[in-house]
Amino acid sequence: MTCLLCDKPLHDQPTWQHFLGIQKDTSACPICMDKFERIDSVIQDDVLDSVHSIYAYNEAAREYLHQFKFMQDVALAQIFAPTLRTVLNDSKKIIVPIPMHPINKKKRTFSQVDALLEAAKIPYQSLLEKTTESVMGEKSRSERLAMTELFHVPADILYNEAVYVLVDDIYTTGTTLRHAAEALKQSGVHRVEAVTLFRPIREK
Amino acid sequence: MSERDQLKQFLAGRIWLRHLLPFSEEVVDEAIRQGDIHIAPGVTTKKTWHGTHYACQRCHNENQARFTVFTCAQCEAPCAYCRNCLNMGRVSCCSNLLTWTGTPPTFPTSHRMNWQGNLTPSQQKATSELLESTKQGISHLLYAVCGSGKTEMLFQPIHYVLQEGKRVCLAAPRVDVILELLPRLTTAFPNTKVEALYGGAEVEHFDAQLILATTHQLYRFHEAFDAVFVDEADAFPYTADETLQRAVRKAAKPNAPIHFVTATPSRQLLAMNKKQGHISVLARRYHGQPLPVPRSVALWNYEKQLKKKRIPAKLLRWTTECLAKKQPFLIFFHQIELMEIAEPLFQKLDERICAVHAEHEDRKERVQLLRQKAVPGLLTTTILERGITIPNVQVAVVGAEQTIFNKGALIQIGGRVGRSVPNTSGDFVLFHQGITYAMDEAKREIRKLNHTEVPQ
């Protein structure tokens, strides 16, 4: 096995836990993993009841997302599988990934959030549908804030009492998540939380 | 030139992902309709009794661990992609690779060779042999010691192929070598279209006749060249990566000769060329002086001593002597970690001493500083084992018994010493804790080459 990020061989010590299948295979070497800065920041918002961002959006994160999303290296979804599994281990909550527009998804050949969840073997429900083809990354802050409805909920939601957790790769201005949460709340959901992999933090 | 001609010039000899072609859809579609372009799937699958076997059609990678299967939204099926050549644009089962099958483009047949350097009699002999093999289309191994002027010996054979109106590739495993070769070749062939291809370089001339490329870039070529010269054919990663060797084979036309140029040929390379090709041996440097023979000095527990923040006595004496005589020096380490422990210790002797390894972006500048004597010496990993010339440099290897210092590496490291006139010799020390076969073999080979008779 080699590290998915730096291609150097992984020096895994054989352990009993690994042999018995308790310990899972690692997909990246400790040196590469150390470059990601764990922050676990949790904030509240008027629409979202909590937003949990796991890592800081630093240089390593930028490179990671570039290789994962734009070079289309689906294998990289494995890297954060163990982290996502521990963060999203509450089986009572319903996981809802932020979707891509079908045309964009076809262009990229996969949806990054779905790929992350599938790699982590987390069951999810695709309740949302994206209505526009436009992408947040290409917009300025004011343009993003001025956007009208981005998502809609095609089917009726049956369990209004359950907690719904939105999952996305990055939280910047929060427009995407806020729109998604609003769409869910309009369908009658009471509590919407969110988990994102990265979030930019201000340099000290 | 019409866009269609440009497409032909560009795609002939290349194998390219359809969605990455720098041409409009209509032109490409038109060429496909006329049968000038062949379309192949990016990754082919073969069912075997133990599962599916994937093969990348661009880099010819068949290592199954380098493929990832995912549910593709484009072909709506499980789709595999190759991670071996990912940074050139992803190749998957549902992507299309295009090759040109129409009439091949023509290249000019008149080329000026602007090079009047003198070859020594032994250089002239080797270059004539290489030229003869090129004419016959037989692979040739040019086995020439470090500092014998290998690049100059390639000019005549390259000129011959260019004059025939054919395409030539000069490949090397490392970018540093390509960047060093480029100005020398553009001055030698002033009215030939030359292009250098390496990771991060843009494709500029669509119809370059002489292409300099890292071996990785040859993944993108398909039966393109009438002759391929592989410089430093023993360097990492070429020898370690089978797909690179296949890439060179596939970039050449089926019967085109592939020539190898190296100072330390592997046993495999020697055997291959003995069987089905020719070999020229050039045992003397261009200044005619023998290669420096390494001397072995025992240096026990160097690792432990360095970790205790102490430079071993013999190494300390060697370094201070170099400093006193104002001779530039290189000290090779086998491990970056150990070198970084040693760096502050050496800086106590002279604060300008610094370390270089592959991840240092300014390693070129540091080597330049050593050449200008602004820095008395460098600590380095095997990254500086080849391709650099520093007048009057002295070389020491710490931990010469480590497996990374194989025969080839030791000979290359020794090849840094005494390359230029008037300092045609110098000290080459192997500090070791136990002599290995590799050290013995390197020493034996250097002695053997020094004793070989050369034409005067």
Residue B159 structure tokens: 């000129």
Q: Do A115 and B70 touch (CB under 8 A)?
A: yes
Single out the residue of A35, A40, A90 nearest to residue A60, CA to CA.
A35
Domain segments of chain B: what residues? 3-100, 121-282, 295-451
Question: Which region holds residue B288: left if phi is over 0, alpha if psi is between -120 and 50, else beta?
Answer: left
Phi and psi (nearest 5°) for B144? -125, 135
Q: B439: exposed, middle or buried (C-beta count within 10 Å: 0-12, 13-18, 19+)?
A: buried
Residues of A in contact with B65 (CB under 8 A): 1-2
Phi and psi (nearest 5°) for B40? -130, 150
CA distance A67 to B81: 14
CATH topology of domain B295-451: Rossmann fold (3.40.50)
Residues of B in contact with A109 (CB under 8 A): 70, 72-74, 79, 92, 94
The confidence score (pLDDT) of residue A131 equals 86
Q: Do A110 and B87 touch (CB under 8 A)?
A: no
Q: Which of B65, B72, B87 sits opposite A110 (nearest CB)?
A: B72
- Secondary structure (3-state) at B168: strand
The confidence score (pLDDT) of residue B31 equals 92
- Report the helix count and the strand count for chain B, using DSSP H and E: 13, 20
Asked whether residue B10 carries a pLDDT value surpassing 60, the answer given is yes
Q: What is the pLDDT of residues B158-171, one digit of tens each?
A: 999 999 999 999 99
If you ran DSSP here, which 8-state letter would residue B60 be given?
-
Phi and psi (nearest 5°) for B47? -80, 130
66-85 in B: which are within 8 Å (CB) of A? 68, 70-74, 79, 81, 83
CA distance B192 to B194: 6
Q: Do B74 and A106 touch (CB under 8 A)?
A: yes
Q: Do B81 and A74 touch (CB under 8 A)?
A: yes
Q: A138: exposed, middle or buried (C-beta count within 10 Å: 0-12, 13-18, 19+)?
A: exposed
Q: What chain B residue is nearest to A104 in terms of C-alpha separation?
A: B73
Asked whether residue B439 carries a pLDDT value surpassing 90, the answer given is yes
The confidence score (pLDDT) of residue A193 equals 93
Single out the residue of B110, B106, B332, B388 nearest to residue B226, CA to CA.
B106
What pTM was computed for the model?
Answer: 0.84
CA distance A137 to B259: 49
Distance of CA B387 to the CA centre of its chain: 10
Q: Provide the pLDDT confidence category of residue B456 given band limits of 50, 70 and 90.
A: low
Q: What chain A residue is nearest to B89 in terms of C-alpha separation?
A: A71
Q: Do A73 and B86 touch (CB under 8 A)?
A: yes
The confidence score (pLDDT) of residue A203 equals 56
The confidence score (pLDDT) of residue B151 equals 84
Residue B114 vs residues B152, B184, B193: alpha-carbon distances, Å: 12, 10, 14
To the nearest whole Å, the CA of A176 is away from the closest chain B CA by: 22
332-351 in B: which are within 8 Å (CB) of A? none
Residue for token pair 């290359």: B412
User: Is B121-282 CATH 3.30.200.20?
Assistant: no
Sheet-wide strand order for B210-214:
B194-197, B210-214, B168-172, B227-231, B258-262, B140-144, B278-282
> Residue B391: is the preceding peptide bond cis (ω within 30°)?
no
Length of chain B: 456
Cβ-contact A204, A87 below 8 angstroms? no
Q: Do A111 and B87 touch (CB under 8 A)?
A: no
CA distance A160 to B228: 68
Mean pLDDT over each residue of chain B, to the nearest integer? 89
Q: Do A72 and B73 touch (CB under 8 A)?
A: no
Domain segments of chain A: what residues? 39-133+143-199
Q: What chain A residue is nearest to B88 in terms of C-alpha separation?
A: A71
Q: Do A74 and B87 touch (CB under 8 A)?
A: no
Give 10-residue mean pLDDT values along chain A (204 residues).
84 80 79 91 88 94 94 93 90 92 91 93 91 79 77 82 92 89 89 93 65
- Which residues of A have a CB under 8 Å from any CB of B? 1-2, 71-75, 105-111, 115
The confidence score (pLDDT) of residue A204 equals 45
Residues of B in contact with A73 (CB under 8 A): 68, 83, 86, 90
Residues of A in contact with B71 (CB under 8 A): 110
Single out the residue of A149, A184, A147 nearest to residue A165, CA to CA.
A184
Q: What chain A residue is nearest to B73 in terms of C-alpha separation?
A: A109
Neighbours of A97 (CB within 10 A): 25
Q: B210: exposed, middle or buried (C-beta count within 10 Å: 0-12, 13-18, 19+)?
A: buried
User: With pLDDT > 70 as the criterion, what percentage of chain B qualifies?
Assistant: 99
Q: What is the pLDDT of residues B362-421, one digit of tens each?
A: 777 888 888 888 899 999 988 888 877 888 999 999 999 999 898 989 999 999 998 888
Q: Do B71 and A75 touch (CB under 8 A)?
A: no
The architecture of the domain spanning A39-133+143-199 is 3-Layer(aba) Sandwich (3.40)
Neighbours of B237 (CB within 10 A): 12
Q: What is the pLDDT of residues A155-165, one digit of tens each?
A: 877 777 889 99
Is the fold of B121-282 the same as that of B295-451? yes
Name the helix (H) or strand (E) containing B85.
none
To the nearest whole Å, the CA of B237 is away from the closest chain A CA by: 13
Cβ-contact B186, B138 below 8 angstroms? no
Residues of B in contact with A106 (CB under 8 A): 73-74
Mean pLDDT of B186-195: 91
Q: What is the pLDDT of residues A6-25, one digit of tens each?
A: 888 887 678 888 888 877 77
- Secondary structure (3-state) at B370: helix
Sheet-wide strand order for B16-17:
B16-17, B96-100, B37-41
Model ipTM value: 0.85
Q: Do A75 and B68 touch (CB under 8 A)?
A: yes
Q: Do A73 and B90 touch (CB under 8 A)?
A: yes
